[in-house]
Structure 1
Amino acid sequence: MTPSDARSRPIIEVKNIRKEYPIGDETVVALKHINLNVMRGEICCIFGTSGSGKSTLLNQLAGMEKPTRGEVLIGGVPISRLNENQLASFRQRHLGFVFQSYNLLPNLTATENVAMPLLFRGVPKAQREAAARKLLCRVGLSHRLDHFPRQMSGGQQQRAGIARAFIARPDVVFADEPTGNLDSKTTVEIMNMICTFARDYHQTIILVTHDPEMASYAHRIVTLIDGEIVSNQVNNKEKSRHET
């Protein structure tokens, strides 16, 4: 495959995904016949209300759950066929995550939290912490390098979470309601930051949200209702305020 072929091929391919959950004597169908391609460098929003299936789809895309039928490929790798050890290794090398609840380790400093993905890649301590400090300064936390999560505000913790998600330059970053616990001003700052990193590193973002304001930052908006894609549209009004 030539470099141009690689660029034109979707980074994520979802093929005929169906997800069922047994509940008592019944079977709940959470996802029905989902087909989706996401291109490299694209910010793709999975949009829907509570119960629409967007979180279930996120779990499928990130390999957190196995589909009942169908498969998910990332970079051509069928992650839905990997075992748990293979999946863990794949996530460490190719995926990043930004969570609504930040998910920083409470007993580690901001620098140590951000450096963690590089630890899994075998980067020496001095090198990974230097990279973490540099990225923390870029997200405006130069004064919080040695602070623990409890010593930081929600917005500051999310900035550290973004630095952690991007430090290893993963192919795909999953952002699950990343501003759900933040005020409107901080929401704008965080979303601009995510978009800037994605643009600078040519990374793919999967943004999961129920908030139309957040969805407006995406290149494409995929809307789910009752486990089905009802709309898959290019966002011609994508926000351009992507400056940190």
Structure 2
Amino acid sequence: EKVTALKNINLDIFAGEICCIFGPSGSGKSTLLNQLAGLEKPTRGGVKICGQIISRMNENELAAFRQHHSGFIFQSYNLLNHLNALENVALPLEFAGIEKTEREKAARHMLGEVGLAGRMKHYPNQMSGGQQQRVGIARAFINRPQVIFADEPTGNLDSKSTKEVMEMMTRFVREYRQTLILVTHDQEMAAYADRIITLKDGEIVRQEWKEKEKEYENE
């Protein structure tokens, strides 16, 4: 059986924008995020980020591209259980070939930024869900990528932790002038975005801008 997950998608996402891909389960929003992040390849069309067509890259090229340009925040945290918080956060810098002393210094700074200065030596199973997601945020931002992809990042959190995590992510992307692409079915999370793109049956059915529309259009 042939399934068309996405169709007629023609979309520009601007540098510095917080963009929410919104819709119910099965609408195609996670598939769209995976396409934008290079985790899946489109059967037609292409995806361009930072002037490079990532949909034409092989796996090695994609890995190198993500290392320098992309950060990921997952619903299930995706921390390595055998590494403590400091080691999990420092991992992207290790892959980038940064010397141990320098990457641990950067990881300590980021853990301080997310309010976990006292949890650096704790392992994932010694932390709450909210604390684990803060570690995930610190890891995603540590190498200052241009684009952060977040797939239901608060789906496993209570309302208090959800608010804290969303305020933290939006503060970081504003401070570091990054782009955040967020997938959610939660209206409260979508409210943090500059633009909400609503999907239904794999198609964009609505785009809602906030006050930054004119600023981005002028860019």
CA drift of 1:227 comes to 0.3
Task: Report whether the alignment pairs 1:42 with 2:17.
Answer: yes
RMSD: 0.9
Higher relative contact order (CA 8 A, sep 6+): 2
Q: TM-score, normalised by structure 2?
A: 0.95
Aligned counterpart, 2:36: 61
Task: Report whether the alignment pairs 1:140 with 2:120.
Answer: no
Task: Report whether the alignment pairs 1:162 with 2:134.
Answer: no
Q: TM-score, normalised by structure 1?
A: 0.86
Task: Report whether the alignment pairs 1:226 with 2:205.
Answer: no
Instruction: Tell me which amino acid in the other structure corresponds to 1:80.
Output: S
**Structure 1: stretches of 5+ with no match in the other structure:** 1-25, 238-244
Higher helix share: 2
State the number of aligned residues. Answer: 212
**Distance of 1:38 and 1:85 partners within structure 2:** 25
Runs (4+) off by over 3 Å? none
Task: Report whether the alignment pairs 1:123 with 2:98.
Answer: yes
Task: Report whether the alignment pairs 1:76 with 2:51.
Answer: yes
Q: Deviations over 1:122-162 (max 9, x none)?
A: 11001001110111011110110011001000000000000
CA drift of 1:236 comes to 4.5
CA drift of 1:235 comes to 2.7
**Distance of 1:91 and 1:230 partners within structure 2:** 29
Task: Report whether the alignment pairs 1:28 with 2:28.
Answer: no
Task: Report whether the alignment pairs 1:153 with 2:132.
Answer: no
Contact 1:224 1:230 in 2 (8 A): yes
**Structure 2: stretches of 5+ with no match in the other structure:** 213-219
Contact 1:216 1:235 in 2 (8 A): no
Aligned counterpart, 1:23: none
Q: Deviations over 1:10-36 (max 9, x none)?
A: xxxxxxxxxxxxxxxx20110001011
